[in-house]
């Protein structure tokens, strides 16, 4: 028997540190020589953006708890202050790592390919002349330097905006002895500027906005001596707060909160690495931050802005090959998707297969006089969404359209408020779900009159109705006219749009009511099979696994002899491989070209597997504070396909897989008997090469 009880803190990794470890794996992609060079740059940018959000939300939340004097600890036993200390240590390591990768690996490799980022000392006289002209014509008119004195206090800076703190010597026109000034760079200014061909020495010569301003900052302060110029950026708390007990109009309340996001409490200060320590201390004090909140940057403070470079460079060999998402024959040849779905359920596997059938189904519904109603949930849609256009078109044509919009989709709140207005103006009925509970389920229901029958067609998915992310996120979507699924979906929509008790659903497992309880029962079923000597195995694929109750259930299943394979892209606070606790549990993370977003739960059930697809990860918020769906794959052929495409290749992957160790670190799973990349295999099997 183990010396640990299943609730012991030693059995759980810290959630926040797990999230930082995920970004360490993303950073590592930037160092892989076998990946196209510009894609390696993208990985660096993605990880940098992830770290930004980590501070805006996760660190900000911990700092709030610390300010309120919270003594609470999580399942891992770490207090808030202990977490902040460890986060600071790991985050500083990651920041140093990202600039080492940029300066020592990517920039030299890009230069070898003719893509150069020119420093001031590297520019030719012609390039210096061009940069000077660009400064005076494009930058000087929109820059507003502010000398700091009692009449000009430190400006209130927007979240993550680029600024420069400038040290000065001398007297200005009014005889003031100013020694400090701040220059803000408007967000409208490009952070990377390409030099024209006539003064370029390489196919692609770029200069950073920061470098241009540094070179000509003295022109902003005529008659004064500029003794230093240091870029900086402050990250602020960007979470929104709406009191569920007080709010009367969720849309109005959120709109009022959005402006506060830009000026929330400071949580991090990024500062040029050459900044003097005395100025660093002065700047951190200005924002109420401690030394551990200051991150010194040996390069541009916002690496995410480099994400535009691959789109500015026409070098296909330095990018992932283009592909065209595939289309199943029975779908491609169909002029009537309703008839195709009646014949047999349709499974779509994105991005390897096209998202277009989802849009086509909505378009056909909008044009079909026999369709009496369309219902859909929307969480994130993106700009110029054909899904939204199809709903608007259907509403304008007189179809009864009900849309449940989750206004609180983080960082998409403003877009979703605008979206709700557009749909309402078109005649659609728009509701916002349940205050205090996010609607995260991905559902479409189309009610169609067929003779004397009203048939329900549904689409249930693991990902958002977002045509852009459908090209870069892995997800499954199921189209069906199964009567029980249709009734279940209708009942969920009724819960979201009206009031009343939640009835028991026939086939769909639903959070916050039955999902967690049902998953625990399915795990217990595997325990009973294992104890009876029958085949017992669980394969679960998700984005995050942090729910302590589910982790305890997995530990119990492992102790009973159930074989468990977990494919968890991001946070996993379970410790695998612990003697007498989790010896039968293996955890891997896949980091590849596409963001792994699919949620698949497979329970062996003594040789008669139960396979579910879901919108939910195994996190407390998904189980308890969100409306989520988890639906069974009932067709045996489709269930076999889900397993053969969504699980098996990932268990064999030895190119993009990282294996979680008991101490919380990840080791790459290296090829030893032939190279297997799950995503490449699926591209080859399902997509069309361009």
Write out pLDDT tens, residues 218-242.
999 998 999 999 999 999 998 744 4
pLDDT at 402 over 90: yes
Confidence grade of residue 256 (pLDDT, cut at 50, 70, 90): very low
Tokens 């001398």: give the residue.
170
Structure tokens at 684: 């080859």
Number of Cβ within a 10 Å radius of residue 266? 21
- CB within 8 Å of 175: residues ≥ 6 apart: none
Strand pairing category for 563-568 and 537-542: parallel
Q: Tell me the average pLDDT across 411-425.
A: 78
Residue 381: its pLDDT value, please? 85
Beta bridge partners, 205, equal 116
CATH fold, domain 323-507, is: Endonuclease; Chain A (3.30.870)
Residue 500: its pLDDT value, please? 63
Cα separation, 341 vs 185, whole angstroms: 54
* CB 396, CB 424: distance < 8 Å: no
Confidence grade of residue 3 (pLDDT, cut at 50, 70, 90): low
Cα–Cα–Cα angle for 412, 413, 417, rounded to 5 degrees: 120
- CB within 8 Å of 34: residues ≥ 6 apart: none
Pick the most confident of 62-66, 119-123, 504-508, 567-571. 567-571
Residue 412: its pLDDT value, please? 57
* CB 196, CB 265: distance < 8 Å: no
Cα separation, 303 vs 537, whole angstroms: 43
Domain range annotation of the chain? 9-318, 323-507, 510-689
* CB 618, CB 550: distance < 8 Å: yes
Residue 263: its pLDDT value, please? 58
Cα separation, 545 vs 539, whole angstroms: 13
Confidence grade of residue 262 (pLDDT, cut at 50, 70, 90): low
DSSP collapsed to 3 states, 198-241: HHCCCCEEEEEHHHHHHHHHHHHCCCCEEEEEEEEEEEECCCCC
First to last CA, the chain: 57
* CB 60, CB 267: distance < 8 Å: yes
pLDDT at 258 over 60: no
> What percentage of the chain exceeds 90 in pLDDT?
80
pLDDT at 597 over 50: yes
DSSP annotation of 462 = S
Residue 260: its pLDDT value, please? 53
Cα separation, 193 vs 395, whole angstroms: 44
Where helices occur in 564-654 by DSSP H, the ranges are 620-624, 636-646, 648-652
| Residue tagged active-site, from 350, 440, 466, 529 | 440
* CB 492, CB 404: distance < 8 Å: no
Residue 5: its pLDDT value, please? 86
Confidence grade of residue 68 (pLDDT, cut at 50, 70, 90): confident
Residue 384: its pLDDT value, please? 86
Q: Tell me the average pLDDT across 548-570.
A: 98
pLDDT tens digits, residue range 609-642? Answer: 999 999 999 999 999 999 999 999 999 999 999 9
Confidence grade of residue 410 (pLDDT, cut at 50, 70, 90): low
Confidence grade of residue 250 (pLDDT, cut at 50, 70, 90): very low
* CB 213, CB 139: distance < 8 Å: yes
- CB within 8 Å of 558: residues ≥ 6 apart: 564, 581, 582, 583, 584, 585
Cα separation, 607 vs 206, whole angstroms: 59
> Is 440 among the residues known to form the active site?
yes
What is the H or E stretch that residue 271 is in? strand 266-272
Please indicate whether the domains covering 323-507 and 510-689 agree at the CATH topology level: yes
Dmax (CA) of the chain: 90
What is the H or E stretch that residue 181 is in? strand 180-184
CA quadruple 61, 66, 69, 73: dihedral sign: positive
> What percentage of the chain exceeds 70 in pLDDT?
93
Residue 397: its pLDDT value, please? 95
Number of Cβ within a 10 Å radius of residue 674? 7
Beta bridge partners, 177, equal 171
Cα–Cα–Cα angle for 576, 579, 582, rounded to 5 degrees: 35
Task: Count Cβ neighbours within 10 Å for each residue of 474-489 and write b for 16 or more, e otherwise.
Answer: bbbbbbbbbeebbbbb
Nearest partner of 569 among 614, 617, 522, 611, judged by Cα:
617
pLDDT at 247 over 70: no
Distances, alpha carbon 310 to alpha carbons 42, 66, 116, in Å: 8, 41, 13
In the predicted model, what is the mean pLDDT of the chain? 92
Cα separation, 95 vs 19, whole angstroms: 15
Distances, alpha carbon 402 to alpha carbons 68, 375, 381, 593, 632, in Å: 42, 5, 16, 35, 25
Query: Using only C-alpha atoms, what is the Rg of the chain?
Result: 27
CATH fold, domain 9-318, is: polyphosphate kinase like (3.30.1840)
Where helices occur in 476-514 by DSSP H, the ranges are 483-497
Tokens 């008659």: give the residue.
223
pLDDT at 364 over 90: yes
Q: 260-264, 573-577, 665-669 — which is least confidently predicted?
A: 260-264
- CB within 8 Å of 417: residues ≥ 6 apart: 251, 254, 255, 407
Distances, alpha carbon 211 to alpha carbons 142, 207, 287, 438, in Å: 17, 7, 25, 44
3-class SS of residue 578: coil
Nearest partner of 396 among 364, 433, 359, 367, judged by Cα:
367
Q: 58-62, 255-259, 326-330 — which is least confidently predicted?
A: 255-259
Cα separation, 303 vs 313, whole angstroms: 17
CATH architecture classification, 510-689: 2-Layer Sandwich (3.30)
CA quadruple 639, 645, 649, 655: dihedral sign: negative
pLDDT tens digits, residue range 492-542? Answer: 999 998 866 667 899 999 999 999 999 999 999 999 999 999 999 999 999
DSSP annotation of 508 = -
Confidence grade of residue 170 (pLDDT, cut at 50, 70, 90): confident
């Amino acid at each position: 028997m183990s010396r640990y009880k299943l609730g012991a803190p030693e059995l759980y990794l810290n959630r926040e540190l797990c999230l930082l470890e995920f970004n360490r794996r993303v950073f590592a992609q930037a160092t892989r020589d076998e990946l196209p060079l510009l894609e390696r740059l993208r990985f660096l940018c993605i990880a940098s953006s992830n770290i930004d959000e980590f501070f805006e939300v996760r660190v900000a939340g911990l700092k709030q708890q610390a300010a309120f004097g919270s003594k609470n600890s999580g399942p891992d036993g770490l207090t808030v202050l202990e977490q902040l200390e460890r986060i600071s240590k790991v985050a500083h390591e990651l920041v140093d790592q990202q600039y080492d990768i940029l300066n020592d690996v990517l920039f030299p490799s890009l230069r070898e390919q003719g893509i150069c980022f020119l420093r001031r000392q590297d520019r030719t006289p012609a390039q210096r002349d061009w940069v000077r002209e660009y400064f005076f014509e494009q930058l000087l008119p929109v820059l507003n330097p502010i000398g700091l004195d009692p009449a000009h206090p430190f400006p209130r800076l927007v979240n993550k905006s680029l600024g420069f703190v400038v040290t000065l010597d001398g007297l200005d026109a009014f005889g003031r002895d100013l020694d400090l000034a701040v220059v803000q760079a408007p967000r409208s200014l490009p952070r990377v500027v390409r030099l024209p061909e006539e003064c370029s020495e390489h196919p692609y010569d770029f200069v950073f906005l920061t470098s241009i301003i540094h070179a000509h900052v003295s022109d902003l302060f005529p008659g004064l001596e500029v003794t230093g110029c240091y870029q900086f950026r402050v990250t602020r708390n960007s979470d929104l707060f709406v009191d569920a007990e007080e709010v009367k109009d969720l849309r109005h309340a959120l709109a009022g909160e959005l402006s506060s996001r830009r000026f929330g409490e400071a949580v991090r200060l990024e500062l040029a690495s050459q900044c003097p320590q005395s100025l660093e201390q002065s700047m951190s004090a200005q924002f109420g931050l401690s030394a551990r909140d200051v991150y010194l940057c040996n390069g541009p403070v916002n690496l995410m802005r480099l994400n535009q470079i691959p789109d500015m460079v026409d070098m296909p060999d330095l990018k992932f090959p283009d592909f065209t998402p595939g289309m199943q024959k029975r779908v491609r040849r169909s002029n009537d998707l309703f008839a195709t779905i009646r014949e047999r359920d349709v499974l779509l596997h994105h991005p390897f297969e096209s998202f277009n059938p989802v849009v086509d189904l909505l378009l056909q519904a909008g044009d079909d006089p026999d369709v009496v109603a369309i219902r859909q949930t929307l969480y994130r849609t993106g700009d110029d969404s054909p899904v939204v256009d199809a709903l608007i078109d259907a509403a304008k044509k007189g179809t009864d359209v009900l849309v449940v919009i989750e206004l609180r989709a983080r960082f998409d709140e403003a877009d979703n408020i605008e979206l709700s207005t557009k749909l309402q103006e078109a005649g659609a009925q728009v509701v916002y779900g349940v205050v205090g509970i996010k609607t995260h389920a991905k559902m479409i229901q189309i009610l169609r009159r067929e003779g004397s029958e009203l048939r329900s067609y549904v689409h249930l998915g693991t990902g958002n109705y977002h045509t852009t992310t459908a090209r870069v996120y892995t997800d499954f979507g199921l189209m069906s006219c199964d009567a029980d699924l249709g009734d279940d979906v209708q009942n969920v929509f009724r819960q979201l749009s009206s009031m009343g008790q939640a009835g028991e659903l026939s086939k769909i497992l639903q959070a916050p009511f039955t999902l967690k309880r049902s998953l625990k029962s399915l795990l217990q079923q595997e325990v009973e099979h294992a104890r009876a000597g029958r085949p017992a195995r669980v394969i679960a694929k998700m984005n995050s696994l942090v729910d302590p109750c589910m982790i305890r259930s997995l530990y119990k299943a492992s102790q009973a002899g159930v074989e468990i394979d977990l494919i968890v892209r991001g946070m996993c606070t379970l410790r695998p491989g612990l003697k007498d606790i989790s010896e039968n549990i293996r955890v891997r993370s896949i980091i590849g070209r596409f963001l792994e977003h699919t949620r698949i739960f497979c329970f062996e059930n003594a040789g008669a597997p139960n396979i579910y697809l879901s919108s939910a990860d195994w996190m407390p918020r998904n189980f308890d504070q969100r409306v989520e769906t988890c639906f069974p794959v009932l067709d045996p052929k489709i269930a076999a396909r889900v397993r053969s495409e969504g699980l098996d290749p990932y268990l064999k992957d030895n190119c993009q897989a990282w294996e979680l160790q008991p101490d919380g670190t990840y080791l790459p799973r290296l090829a030893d008997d032939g190279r297997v990349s799950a995503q490449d295999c699926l591209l080859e099997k399902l997509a069309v090469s361009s």
